[in-house]
Amino acid sequence: MLGFRRYGSLGQVFGLVKRIDGRYEVHVRGYIDNTLDGELEVSREYLEHLFYGSQPCYEPLIEILNKYNIPYELVKPIPPCLGSPQPRTLTPWKPIAIGLTIIGAVGIALYLIDSYFSPKEK
């Protein structure tokens, strides 16, 4: 579906997400009153997703509607895309999670080995 994947939350009829350029995601939401909403945010692959909010961004949505000749009506002026959030760094969270999991597993294994081989008190 044009590279989008489905998601949703309360109050939405549908929600779609598409990663763009590896760093950002475009979110498109459809509501029961037949309105659509679009926004741009840092990808969920990075820790900065938690700290940088989303920016209203309708250009990708309008491009799709125009490309496929889908009729639409603007009910309010569309603000210009303010640009993507610009964090100084992007920190992938998965390698951190894997590293912490390995450290935890090694710690538990060492504890179990130590408690198994330590002298038993009688």
Angle at 31 between CA 30 and CA 33, to 5 degrees: 130
Q: Which residue has the higher pLDDT, 89 or 104?
A: 104
pTM of this prediction? 0.66
Answer yes or no: is pLDDT of 109 > 90.
yes
- Residue 106's pLDDT band, with cuts at 50, 70 and 90, is very high
Amino acid of residue 66? N
DSSP 41: E
Neighbouring-strand partners of residue 17:
5, 27
Tell me: the pLDDT tens digits for 56-89?
888 888 888 899 898 988 888 888 887 667 788 8
